[in-house]
Amino acid sequence: MARILDGTAISAAIKEEVAEEVRKLVAQGIKPGLAAVLVGNVAASQIYVRSKVQTCADLGLYSELITPPETVTTEEMLDLVRSLNDRDEIDGILIQLPLPAQVDTKALLDAVDPAKDVDGFHPVNAGRLQAGRPALAPCTPAGVIEILKRSGIPIAGQHAVVVGRSDIVGKPAAMLLLHQNATVTICHSKTRDLGAVTREADILVAAIGRPGFITAEMVKPGATIIDVGINRITDRVEFERYFAGNAKREAAFAKRGSTIVGDVHPQAFELAGAYTPVPGGVGPLTIAMLMANTVRAAKMRRGL
């Protein structure tokens, strides 16, 4: 029986540690602050950002939610970022993506002060991460490492295969695994005979953004599978492809008309030694690591 790596429990433990760090900083007259910028009225983004703001309140951090209109221009957004860069009480700046088409996303992310880049997207932080220097790492890949470490999964000397090469997850996850002394292979849509590579993985990180893409034939028995994918399923035929016979999922699908599946086909988990479920695996770590990054930014900015 494969071991389930409980991201919800690990997230709760990290949040407790962050709250304790915040209490110590507040005792020194420092209250870490996060500014969350949410453009427009995308319902999913609103729910996600408001949960981040609520988590700040729960853990004792200061937070602001800034909501420019859907019609905002690149220059107006750049002015906003510059003002946040200049405010000493703001330690972290979060710009919720995606942005409207008329806004130059790259220019905006590049304008964030790297010392306040709690998403870890700035080229300066990417470079520091590659060089193994102190940096704010992207939250989801940092959460992957925390899951492995806190679950007692060996990383050093293991062959880690990362499927996906995005700047947000795939590349930084590979770099963080390399810094933990794993032997790392990065795969992507153009990799020849992908299954032959993934079957060599002791640690398999699926971050390609395709539902059920990693099948049982692509997994080495006993491997640890980290499923980063979150894909919403609304089609009954597609649901049956992944969850036929799963009474719990069936009931939820019938009630909501949708469910989510990761980048790994559920049948593949039967071969694993350990795996992160979807939901309840990597997802909960993202907000926890954002909180940890905000506290880290507050300390680094003050030389603590």
Q: Please, what's the largest Cα pairwise distance for the chain?
A: 57
How far apart, in whole angstroms, are the C-alpha atoms of residue 151 and residue 226? 12
Judge whether 214 and 264 are in contact, CB under 8 Å. yes
Peptide bond into 172 cis (omega under 30): no
Sheet (strand 3-4) strand order:
3-4, 274-275, 224-227, 203-206, 159-163, 183-187
Cα dihedral across residues 230, 291, 126, 87: positive or negative: positive
Return the active site residues: 52, 96, 119
- Contact present, 30 and 60 (Cβ < 8 Å): no
Give yes or no for a contact between 10 and 153, defined as CB atoms under 8 angstroms apart.
Answer: no
Q: In degrees, to the nearest 5, what angle opens at C-alpha 135 toward C-alphas 150 and 115?
A: 130
Q: Sign (positive/negative) of CA torsion 164, 137, 174, 16?
A: negative
Whether the CB-CB separation of 265 and 275 falls below 8 Å is answered with no
Beta strand pairing call for 33-37 and 62-66: parallel
